[in-house]
A and B are shown apart, each in its own frame.
Chain A
Amino acid sequence: MSSAVSLYLDPQIRDWVLFPITLVMILVGILRHYIMILLQSPPKKLPREALREQRALTRSQVLRSTAANSPIPPTYYKSISRHLSDAYEAGTYLKDGPPREGDAPKPPPNPMTDPAAMDGMMAGMKTQMVMMVPQMVIMGWINFFFQGFVLIKLPFPLTLGFKSMLQRGIETTDMDVRWVSSLSWYFLNFFGLNGLYRLILGGDNSADSSRDMTASPFGAPAAAGAQDFGKLFKAEISNLEFSEGVYSWVGEGVEERVLRRYGKIPAV
């Protein structure tokens, strides 16, 4: 590296390229945040039966979580436990009521025909669009007008490994790595502005587009929609049986514990 500065940048580049790119990206991020707020549909209302089905498993989970030291006496525990496993067996909590004799097992719902799943997917697509379109436009803008521009010189030396990161779009082998090209400056902003957005818009903003690059619009609803509660309930029955095995009442031997604390009977 020579001690003499090998390259002079026109201050016009700073004023008319570097700052505008940064400013445009920040503004687009903020705009995106507000568009997302506008696009957000209110949380979907579940019918009562669906809610009940979704929460039915909590009952046995609550019961099981304290089974080893349960606050309720044996008769009560047993009756709740029996009642739950009977209900799970019979499918009382299922959204469509208990299955009738001779019903063919339902195929898993197809996300393309289920309107509920379709809604979720549309929401995902909308987010994706709001993210993709402005970024594509900005990238095209930079590529078209500022292709091959060198915008800024980093004030610290870097190894050659950063060349592909900092000088994208400039095909030179011997330029100092500290020079940053326009396209690279775009990518640095793209991934690095999240901290600034958090400062301006608060913690849970939706301005940062690098985050949902990875999220697929089809991923989330497919995973949530495919739950087969009938199967989950059947599996829970054996869990309940297991907990009944480890069950003990907290009142078991409580009189001895108390008496021992007060020295009425000798401590062990």
Chain B
Amino acid sequence: MSLSMSLEKLATFRTNNTRASQETFKNASLILKTAKQLGDDGWAVLEQLFLASVDIGRLEVADQCLKQLAERFPDSPRVDVLTGIRMEATESPDVALKYYTQQLNADPANGAIWKRKISVLRRSGKIEKAAEELTQLLDTFYTDVDGWLELADIYTTCNQYILALQALSHVLLLAPQNPFYVLQFAETAYTANDLPLALKTFLVVVDMCERDIDSPKHKPAVGISVRAWLGIKLCSRRLMINSTPSASNTPIPKSLNLIEELATERVLEVYSSQGTAARRGQAAEGKDVVVGWIGAR
């Protein structure tokens, strides 16, 4: 593979934030020696290669990258983060934690170091401390979507669904255009047993995803809207059996029957259509299960 092609590929990985470590490693290790001559781009590649090689356990390559980077940028906070990551790879969490705390004392507003520290805290089981630090971080850096998602995740693992919903609501405010976050909100609301809220939010997902389709009636749902339709079906079915009160005082839609009917249609259509082009001719996977579940109500 030629140099320019590898470089191009690596640049795409960088912009898309792809974690294809094996491939990154293969592409980037060709240019490890010549990174210095590549100019500004070369340093970015070195950082990328460092992360990839830590990821796949080639620590000797990682050390080479780190050495070059540290020589070029002696006081860079970015290199400090990399040093910390290298430490996490081999040292005990306590050592890494100590390093991060020390760095944070020197510069309390260094978000990257702070986030690493939180991740180490979480990984070593100090969930409470991690959540506390993460809340503080988000209090300072409010616009950090990933931080809010992580907080929601922490709360979810602790069965604190209401708190997770609150964290997710900040995510929605910060990235209102992303239907995946809305779907996560809906599913968390469902888990928190706030069915009317979940139903409404699932409907918002459908509304967002199928907005640009001209005649949605004749096309089976694709992508995350399948999941959303299944969610709608679940919520409306449970709401029809017994209407639980909503923690967020969301009213139950009046046209519940129609929604349930529509959701059934849509879900069945996905599974009865002849699948994608790759598996044409055979019924969609899991069809029996879904049809059985819907028929069993």
To the question of whether A and B form a pair in one complex, the answer is: yes
A contact residues vs B (CB 8 Å cutoff): 42, 45-48, 51-52, 55-56, 58-59, 62-63, 66, 70-76, 79-80, 250-251, 254-259, 261-265
CA distance A55 to B139 in the complex (A): 9
- Count, A-B residue pairs, CB within 8 A: 95
Flag whether B180 is at the interface (Cβ < 8 A).
Answer: no
State the Cβ distance, B94 to closest chain A Cβ, in Å: 24
- Across the interface, which residues of B come within 8 angstroms of A250, CB to CB? 204
Q: Are A48 and B262 in contact (CB under 8 A)?
A: no
CA distance A218 to B107 in the complex (A): 28
Q: Give the residue name and chain of the B residue nearest to A264 (CB).
A: B258
Q: Which B residues, 166 to 210, have Cβ-Cβ distances below 8 Å to chain A? A: 166, 169-170, 172-174, 176, 182, 197, 199-201, 203-204, 206-207, 210
Q: Give the residue name and chain of the B residue nearest to A45 (CB).
A: B107
- Contacts A76-B165, A251-B201, A255-B255 known; A71 to B172 CB distance under 8 Å? yes
Given A251-B250, A254-B203, list of 19 further CB < 8 A pairs? A59-B142, A62-B173, A73-B169, A73-B197, A73-B248, A75-B249, A76-B169, A80-B169, A251-B200, A254-B204, A255-B199, A255-B203, A258-B206, A258-B207, A261-B210, A264-B255, A264-B258, A264-B262, A265-B258
Q: Give the residue name and chain of the B residue nearest to A66 (CB).
A: B176
- Across the interface, which residues of B come within 8 angstroms of A254, CB to CB? 200, 203-204, 207
- Contacts A251-B204, A256-B255, A261-B210 known; A62 to B217 CB distance under 8 Å? no
State the Cβ distance, A72 to closest chain B Cβ, in Å: 4
Flag whether B140 is at the interface (Cβ < 8 A).
Answer: yes
30 contacts between A and B (CB under 8 A): A45-B107, A45-B109, A46-B109, A47-B109, A48-B140, A52-B140, A55-B143, A62-B174, A66-B173, A70-B173, A71-B172, A71-B176, A71-B182, A72-B173, A73-B169, A73-B248, A73-B250, A74-B248, A74-B249, A76-B165, A80-B173, A251-B201, A251-B250, A254-B200, A254-B207, A255-B259, A258-B259, A262-B216, A264-B255, A264-B258
- Contacts A51-B109, A73-B248, A250-B204 known; A259 to B259 CB distance under 8 Å? yes
